[in-house]
Structure 1
Amino acid sequence: MTDTERHETVLQWLKSYAAGEYPDATAAEAALYLASLDRPEGDITAYFARLDDICEDLQRAVADTHTPADAPPRVMDLAIALQNVIPGYHGFQGDEENYDDPENANLMCVMDRKRGLPVALALLYLHAAARCGLEMTGIDFPGHFLLRLEANGERVLLDPFHNGIVLGAAELRELLKAFQGLDAELQPEHYREATDRTILLRLQNNIKVRALRSGDLAYATAVLERCLIIAPDEPGLWHQAGTLHARLNNDEKALACFEQFLKLNHDPRHQQRIKTLAAELRDRIAGISPDTSETADDKPDDTVIPFHPAKNTGASGAENTPRGTSSAASPPHDDPSPA
C-alpha cells in the first residue's frame, strides 16, 4: 500500500468513526489514526498492541488490589492501580521540559517518547479504564485536562500530567487560578464532562495552535480539516478553516468553508459579515476588482477565538509529586478550545 492509499484509508476510517460506525472504538484509537496522518511510515497496529499491553497490566493490577473478601475495590485502590501501571510500570509522564513540542499532542509520538500533554496522556487512562470496566470520565477543566474516577459511590479527580495524582479542592482551586487569575473560583461548569469528540478536538486544537504560533498556516489548515472530519457541524471550525484558506489564497476552498459556516450559524451578528466576505471571494475568483469607493468595515471579527491566543506562562517548573498524594504544582496549560 502506498502512502497515498494509506492516507486515504485513514481518512475513510475517521469519517466512518465520526458517523458512528465504530461504536466500540475509543478516543485513543481515533487519536492514533489522526496521529498516523503525520506519521505515515509508522505501523499503527503496533500502537494498538501497546494499548492492549497497558490494558492487560491494569487488569492484573486491579485484580491484585487488597480488599475485604468479596468486596469490590475502593476508588483509591483503583486510582493507585492506574498510577502503578500507566506512569509507574509504563513510564508515561507529562512533558514539563518541552511542553510546547507538537509531538506532545501526537499520540503515536507520545507512546514512543512516554511524554505528552494532559489531554494526550488522559487518552491512555480512558482507554485502559474502558477496556477494564472502570468508570472513568474526561473532565474538560480549564487549561488542564483531568480525569474523574468513580467506584462504589466514591469519586476522585486524577491529574494524568502528574503521574495520575489525586487532586483535592485546594489543588483544583490552585490550577484554576493559575489559568484564569487569582480572582477565579471553582464553578460547576469547570467539571464539565468531555465527550470523545471534545477530547479529540481539544487534542487537535493544541496541534493547530502550535502550528499557528510557528507561522505554519498550511499545516494549521490541514489540522482544521481533520477536525472537520470529526465535527462537521461545528461552525467555528468552518470559519477558521475559511479564514486560513483565504490567507493561503485558496479562494475556492475558503468560499466553500464560509458558505458552510453560513448554513450552520444563523446568528445575525455574523451572517452579514460572512456574507460580505463570501461575496468578496466570489469576485476575487471571478477576477472582479474590489470596489474601493466604499469605506471598509474595520470592526474586529469576534466570530471565533483569535488565531494566536495569548500564550499562558503559568509556572512550568512543577515538580513531580509522589503518586497517590493530592499535592499539585501549577503546570503549564494546554489549549482547550476546539473551535
Structure 2
Amino acid sequence: MVEFNYGSELPLKDELLRSVEPSVCPVNVAIAVAGIVGSNDVTRTVRKDLEVLADSVRSHDIVEVMDAFKTEGFPSDPSLLSEIDRNRIDVALRQKSGNPITLAMILAGVASQIDLDCVGINFPQHFLVRIDRKLIDPLHMRIVTPAEMRAWAKRKGIDRTPLFSRATNRDIALRMLNNVRLALGGRDRHVDALRVLDYKALLADDSPEVLVEKSEVWLDLGDSGMAKELLEQALELIESPSFKDMVRKRIHLLRGSKVELN
C-alpha cells in the first residue's frame, strides 16, 4: 500500500510551489506530486532514470524519439499499476507505464535533456504534448494529428473548446493532484484525499471549487456538519449565479430541508 509522506503539515509545500513557476521544467511538478503520494524525495532517482532514458534517445528527430521510447519498452500495460501509482513518475519510469499526464512529464524530462522544446497540451479527458511542432499522445507514445484528436473528442462527446490549449505548470499540478485525489476516493482513503486537497488549495487561491470538493470528502467520511460548513465558506466566494444556486441547494439538503430542483 502507498503510504503518504505527511510527517508534518504539507511538508512538500515549498517543492510544489517551486515546481509551478513558469520558468521551471514541468517534470518538477511530477516529482513533487510523487513526493506527495508518499515516495519521499524521489528527485535523485527520477533525474537519474531520465538521464539514462535520454542517453538511449539522443535524437532530434521526433519519429526516432518515439521509436527509442518503444525500444525501451514504453508504453507497457497501464492496468498493471494501481490508479494511484499511475500518477507517480518514479513508478512510471520503472514500470514504463502510467496515465497520460505522467507519461507526458517523462517526455518533457527527456526532451529538456536533449534540447527539444516540449509543451504540455491541456486536452480534455486526456493529455498531450507537442514536441518539435508534432502532437504526441503519451499514453500510446505515438504522433497524432489535430484532426485525429478532434475525432476522438467527438466520439467521447466532448464539445469543449479550445481542445489544444497550452498547459501551464500550475495546470499540470492541479490535474495531477486531482487524479490522485480521485484515485484515493476510489479506495475510500478519504483522509489522504483531504490532504491532497490541502495541496491543491495552495495552487488555487480562494477557490470555492476546492472547498466544495472538500465538503464532498467530508460527506464520504460521514461528517455532514463539516461538509455544510465548507459549503457555507464556498458560498461567500462564488461569483457564478448557477454555481451559487447549486451550493445553496446542497446546504439546504444537508440541513434536511426540501428543495425543488429544476
TM norm. shorter chain > 0.5: yes
Runs of 5+ unmatched residues, structure 1? 63-76, 282-289, 301-339
Q: Name the amino acid aligned to 1:82.
A: V
Share of identical aligned residues, percent?
A: 22
Q: Name the amino acid aligned to 2:170.
A: R
Which residue does 1:114 correspond to in 2?
96
* Structure with greater Cα Rg: 1
Of 229-238 and 251-260, deviating more is 251-260
Which residue does 2:145 correspond to in 1?
168
Which residue does 1:46 correspond to in 2?
45
Q: Give the deviation of 1:94 after TM superposition.
A: 5.1
Q: Name the amino acid aligned to 1:158.
A: I
Does the alignment pair 1:104 with 2:95?
no
CA distance in 2, matches of 1:221, 1:56: 40
CA distance in 2, matches of 1:249, 1:12: 32
Question: Normalized per residue, which structure has more helix?
Answer: 2
Please tell me whether the aligned partners of residues 252 and 259 of structure 2 are also in contact (alpha carbons under 8 angstroms): no
CA distance in 1, matches of 2:204, 2:112: 23
Q: Give the deviation of 1:120 after TM superposition.
A: 0.9
Please tell me whether the aligned partners of residues 227 and 237 of structure 1 are also in contact (alpha carbons under 8 angstroms): yes
Runs of 5+ unmatched residues, structure 2? none
CA distance in 1, matches of 2:192, 2:96: 24
Does the alignment pair 1:146 with 2:128?
yes
Does the alignment pair 1:157 with 2:157?
no
Please tell me whether the aligned partners of residues 76 and 95 of structure 2 are also in contact (alpha carbons under 8 angstroms): no
Q: Give the deviation of 1:117 after TM superposition.
A: 1.0
Which residue does 1:199 correspond to in 2?
172
Which residue does 2:59 correspond to in 1?
61
Q: Cα distance 1:158–1:297, how it changes in 2: closer, same or farther (>3 A)? A: same
Please tell me whether the aligned partners of residues 19 and 26 of structure 2 are also in contact (alpha carbons under 8 angstroms): no
Which residue does 2:258 correspond to in 1?
296
Which residue does 1:30 correspond to in 2?
29
CA RMSD of aligned residues (A): 3.5
CA distance in 2, matches of 1:6, 1:83: 41
Please tell me whether the aligned partners of residues 34 and 42 of structure 2 are also in contact (alpha carbons under 8 angstroms): no
Q: Give the deviation of 1:123 after TM superposition.
A: 0.7
Q: Name the amino acid aligned to 2:107.
A: Y
CA distance in 2, matches of 1:40, 1:7: 16
Q: Name the amino acid aligned to 1:61.
A: S
Q: TM-score, normalised by structure 1?
A: 0.62
SS of the equivalent of 1:49 reads helix
Of 165-174 and 253-262, deviating more is 253-262
Q: Give the deviation of 1:260 after TM superposition.
A: 4.9
Please tell me whether the aligned partners of residues 94 and 118 of structure 1 are also in contact (alpha carbons under 8 angstroms): no
Does the alignment pair 1:80 with 2:78?
no
Per-residue CA deviation, residues 45-66 of structure 1 (Å, 9 max, x unaligned), is 22222233334554x323xxxx
Number of residue pairs matched? 258
SS of the equivalent of 1:193 reads coil
Q: With a CA cutoff of 8 Å and minimum separation of 6, indicate the structure with the bigger relative contact order.
A: 1
Q: Cα distance 1:269–1:141, how it changes in 2: closer, same or farther (>3 A)? A: closer
Please tell me whether the aligned partners of residues 6 and 40 of structure 1 are also in contact (alpha carbons under 8 angstroms): no
Per-residue CA deviation, residues 203-226 of structure 1 (Å, 9 max, x unaligned), is 222222233334333333333222
Q: Name the amino acid aligned to 2:37.
A: D
Q: Cα distance 1:121–1:273, how it changes in 2: closer, same or farther (>3 A)? A: closer
Please tell me whether the aligned partners of residues 45 and 90 of structure 2 are also in contact (alpha carbons under 8 angstroms): no
Which residue does 2:156 correspond to in 1?
179
Per-residue CA deviation, residues 119-138 of structure 1 (Å, 9 max, x unaligned), is 11001112232344322222
Q: Cα distance 1:96–1:52, how it changes in 2: closer, same or farther (>3 A)? A: closer
Q: Name the amino acid aligned to 1:230.
A: L
Matches within 5 A, 1:277-288: none
SS of the equivalent of 1:38 reads helix
Which residue does 1:314 correspond to in 2?
none
Matches within 5 A, 1:211-290: 211-249=184-222, 254=227, 257-258=230-231, 260-271=233-244, 274=247
Per-residue CA deviation, residues 96-132 of structure 1 (Å, 9 max, x unaligned), is 4447632112222212211111111001112232344
CA distance in 2, matches of 1:45, 1:255: 43
Q: Which residue of 3, 12, 28 corresponds with 2:14?
A: 12
Per-residue CA deviation, residues 22-63 of structure 1 (Å, 9 max, x unaligned), is x543222122222122334564422222233334554x323x
Please tell me whether the aligned partners of residues 29 and 172 of structure 2 are also in contact (alpha carbons under 8 angstroms): no
